[in-house]
């Protein structure tokens, strides 16, 4: 039972990821790009706080205090990601923007695996992976053809 | 156009970095607390920037779902946290990318959720399929060489 439920959760979350990008961009068009970025993070903070209100205990706070400072940078990078997304999505459309981002993240993880960034185990490039990257680029190019 | 594409690509690199940082933070404090921390830090950073720059005017006469992006983002983190140990990283990533690609095409075609419509043609459906196939092929990690 847990496996089908996990698959359903994953499928639904993929739709949510797409919906979130478009909703945030629409909010950006309505109230301003940076204002929307602020609202998105504020609402997320309040909701996350609500979900874990009962788990805010000492051990958790201790582990947060012991966390190295650079690991808190994700939130700052997130501001940039939402801000830029709100700007480009109304111009490029969801499908093309998603294509570009998917291609970039695929190249990033291929490079990270091949050159062993961040001390992760090394996975050298394979022909299969090259073919995958080429397919993704060609696919995004075809989606772009619709806009051009 | 080329500027927009380059900026979006840089955003993709930033997204990859933030995923790595979030994974490291999540290992230390848990997925939901790490999402809370990221949203709090983001709120402070965006709030400080707003003191210096304004890009529009906040108003509330909008559909309620316009304000739900942050809430859905937290729900997605909870969902991945649940599914990841049960179906594994690769399968989860493929399911998410697949429905994300399909979902974005549907949103584009019908102009859903407050956006303008970008009609989907036959060639762009081919493009979406190629993108998904490419993502699946590039996802699969080869065996570790000794």
pLDDT in tens, B121-135: 899 999 999 999 999
Query: CB within 8 A of A54, min separation 6: which ones?
Result: none
> For residue B96, is pLDDT > 90?
yes
Q: Are residues A33 and A2 in the same domain?
A: yes
Confidence (pTM)? 0.92
Domain count across chain B = 2
Determine the pLDDT at residue B3.
94
Determine the pLDDT at residue A9.
95
Q: Are residues B103 and B139 in the same domain?
A: yes
More confident residue, A33 or A147: A33
Chain-chain contact of B70 with A40 (C-beta, under 8 angstroms): yes
Q: Are residues B40 and B50 in the same domain?
A: yes
Determine the pLDDT at residue A1.
79
**What is the C-alpha separation between B18 and B14, in angstroms, rounded?**
6
Task: Name the pLDDT band for B145 (thresholds 50, 70, 90).
Answer: very low
> For residue A148, is pLDDT > 60?
no
Please check whether residue B113 touches A, CB under 8 A: yes
Q: Are residues A142 and A120 in the same domain?
A: yes
3-state secondary structure of B144: coil
Share of chain B above pLDDT 70, in %: 95
Domain residue limits at A117: 93-148
> For residue A104, is pLDDT > 60?
yes
**What is the C-alpha separation between B1 and B45, in angstroms, rounded?**
29
Of residues B15, B5, B3, the one with CA closest to residue B97: B15
Least confident of A91-95, B3-7, B13-17, B57-61: B57-61
CA distance B116 to chain A (A): 7
Q: Are residues A138 and A81 in the same domain?
A: no
CA distance A76 to chain B (A): 5
Residue of B4, B29, B70 lying closest to A92 (CB–CB): B4
Q: Are residues B69 and B130 in the same domain?
A: no
Domain residue limits at B99: 88-146
Determine the pLDDT at residue A117.
78
Of residues A99, A83, A20, the one with CA closest to residue B105: A99
Determine the pLDDT at residue A147.
60
Kindly state the average pLDDT of the residues A96-108.
95
Domain count across chain A = 2
Element spanning B96, H or E = helix B89-110
3-state secondary structure of B40: helix
Q: Are residues A84 and A98 in the same domain?
A: no
Q: Are residues B61 and B106 in the same domain?
A: no
**What is the C-alpha separation between A45 and B70, in angstroms, rounded?**
8
**What is the C-alpha separation between B13 and B36, in angstroms, rounded?**
22
Mean pLDDT of chain A: 92
CA angle B70, B76, B77 (to 5 degrees): 95
Residue of B11, B37, B126 lying closest to A64 (CB–CB): B37
**What is the C-alpha separation between B118 and A58, in angstroms, rounded?**
50
Least confident of A22-36, A57-71, A109-123: A109-123
Of residues B124, B121, B131, B126, the one with CA closest to residue B100: B131
Supply the DSSP string of chain A, one letter for each residue. Answer: -HHHHHHHHHHHHHHHHHHHHHHHHHHHHHH-HHHHHHHHHHHHHHHHHHHTGGG--HHHHHHHHTS-GGGGHHHHHHHHHHHHHHHHHHHH-HHHHHHHHHHHHHHHHHHHHHTTGGGPPP----HHHHHHHHHHHHHHHHHHHHH-
Q: Are residues A50 and A107 in the same domain?
A: no
Of residues B19, B53, B54, B101, the one with CA closest to residue A94: B101
Determine the pLDDT at residue B57.
87
Q: Are residues B98 and B59 in the same domain?
A: no
> For residue B49, is pLDDT > 80?
yes
Q: Are residues B61 and B92 in the same domain?
A: no
pLDDT in tens, A69-88: 999 999 999 999 999 999 99
Please check whether residue B64 touches A, CB under 8 A: no
ipTM score assigned to the predicted complex: 0.92
Chain-chain contact of B134 with A136 (C-beta, under 8 angstroms): yes
Q: Are residues B80 and B96 in the same domain?
A: no
Q: Are residues A117 and A129 in the same domain?
A: yes
Residue of B8, B40, B58 lying closest to A45 (CB–CB): B40
Share of chain B above pLDDT 90, in %: 75
> For residue A58, is pLDDT > 70?
yes
């Amino acid at each position: 039972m847990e496996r089908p439920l996990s698959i359903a959760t994953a499928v639904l979350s993929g739709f949510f990821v797409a919906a979130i990008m478009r909703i945030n961009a629409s909010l950006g068009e309505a109230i301003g790009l940076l204002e929307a970025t602020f609202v998105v993070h504020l609402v997320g903070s309040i909701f996350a706080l609500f979900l874990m209100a009962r788990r805010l205990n000492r051990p958790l706070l201790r582990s947060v205090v012991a966390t190295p400072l650079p690991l808190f940078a994700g939130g700052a990078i997130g501001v940039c990601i939402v801000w830029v997304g709100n700007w480009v999505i109304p111009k490029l459309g969801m499908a093309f923007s998603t294509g570009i981002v998917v291609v970039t993240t695929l190249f990033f993880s291929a490079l990270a695996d091949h050159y062993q960034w961040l001390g992760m185990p090394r996975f050298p490039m394979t022909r299969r992976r090259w073919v995958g990257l080429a397919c993704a680029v060609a696919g995004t190019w075809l989606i772009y053809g619709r806009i051009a | 156009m080329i500027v927009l594409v380059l900026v979006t690509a840089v955003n993709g690199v930033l997204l990859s970095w933030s995923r790595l940082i979030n994974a490291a933070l999540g290992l230390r404090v848990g997925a939901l607390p790490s999402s809370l921390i990221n949203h709090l830090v983001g709120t402070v950073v965006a709030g400080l920037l707003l003191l210096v720059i304004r890009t529009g005017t906040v108003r509330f006469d909008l559909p309620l779902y316009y304000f739900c992006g942050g809430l859905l983002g937290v729900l997605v983190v909870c969902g991945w946290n649940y599914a990841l140990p049960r179906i594994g990283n690769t399968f989860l990533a493929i399911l998410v990318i697949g429905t994300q690609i399909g979902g974005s095409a549907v949103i584009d075609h019908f102009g859903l959720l407050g956006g303008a419509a970008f009609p989907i043609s036959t060639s762009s459906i081919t493009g979406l399929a190629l993108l998904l196939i490419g993502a699946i092929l590039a996802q699969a990690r080869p065996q570790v060489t000794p």
